């Protein structure tokens, strides 16, 4: 667990500089688009999150969206994964841009993979505010009839036991409330292995993202299958 404790210490150390995933020299809020193209696709997945989704300091093909797309394609699912990750985003920022992202796609997504909250934790935002913002996004996606796979985040240990208990319970509760599939901790099996992390010990490197995708893609595949079956039943 040494790397996880280091992760917590580093996260707190950079609170005064930026949110997790923001460049401490030049902070950018530019949405990263997926450079892996699929000429024709049957399913559209939106990966909506922060720097962990955006591919922070990774080559264009090494981030979550392109690697998840490749995994789905390898499993026989002709899907495009749209990268809607923005480094530095809090749940409040994500809430404010969600409708804009969805409205500007070329079609309604078959699935949204949603992962925000890490920057809230770094900034010490009250878990009640994080949950409210996440609930607003889940409500919007439900209103549009878009299924969700949630990727959870855990509070770093030095945020304190009370904060951790409140924060860590957000994602399982939302998963249950909205009947959404949950990947409990985005960095599970990654943050504790230095070989899978960037030198900042906060963000995964390309191999780390591959590990994430190995755990996440079966949930995404199952959600896409469930959605397709539900559509056929109508």
Residues noted as catalytic: 51, 200, 203
**Whole-angstrom distance, CA of residue 59 vs CA of residue 84:** 16
**Whole-angstrom distance, CA of residue 73 vs CA of residue 190:** 24
What are 88's two structure tokens? 């530095």
**Whole-angstrom distance, CA of residue 4 vs CA of residue 222:** 30
Q: Are 110 and 147 in contact (CB under 8 A)?
A: yes
| Residue in 204, 180, 177, 176 with CA at minimum distance from that of residue 190 | 204
Q: Are 158 and 9 in contact (CB under 8 A)?
A: yes
For residue 220, give the H/E element and its range. Answer: helix 206-233
| Residue in 212, 206, 202 with CA at minimum distance from that of residue 88 | 202
Please list, residue by residue across 113-127, b when 16 or more beta carbons sit within 10 angstroms of its beta carbon and e when fewer do: bbbbbbbbbbeebeb
């Amino acid at each position: 667990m040494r790397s996880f404790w280091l992760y917590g210490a580093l996260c707190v150390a950079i609170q005064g500089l930026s949110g997790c995933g923001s460049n401490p020299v030049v902070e950018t809020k530019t949405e990263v688009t997926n450079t892996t193209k699929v000429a024709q696709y049957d399913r559209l997945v939106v990966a909506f999150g922060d720097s962990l989704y955006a591919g922070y300091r990774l080559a264009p093909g090494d981030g979550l969206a392109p690697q998840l797309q490749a995994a789905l394609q390898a499993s026989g699912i002709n899907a495009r994964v749209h990268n809607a990750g923005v480094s530095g985003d809090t749940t409040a920022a994500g809430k404010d841009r969600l409708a804009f992202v969805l409205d500007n796609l070329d079609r309604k997504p078959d699935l949204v993979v949603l992962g925000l909250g890490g920057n809230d934790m770094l900034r010490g935002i009250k878990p009640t505010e994080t949950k409210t913002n996440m609930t607003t996004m889940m409500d919007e996606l439900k209103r549009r009839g878009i299924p969700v796979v949630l990727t959870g985040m855990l509070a770093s240990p030095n945020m304190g036991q009370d904060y951790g208990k409140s924060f860590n319970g957000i994602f399982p509760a939302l998963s249950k409330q909205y009947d959404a599939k949950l990947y409990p901790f985005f960095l599970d099996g990654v943050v504790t292995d230095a070989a899978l992390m960037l030198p900042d010990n906060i963000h995964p490197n390309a191999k780390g993202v591959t590990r994430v995708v190995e755990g996440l893609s079966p949930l995404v595949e199952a959600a896409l299958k469930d959605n397709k079956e539900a559509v056929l039943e109508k």
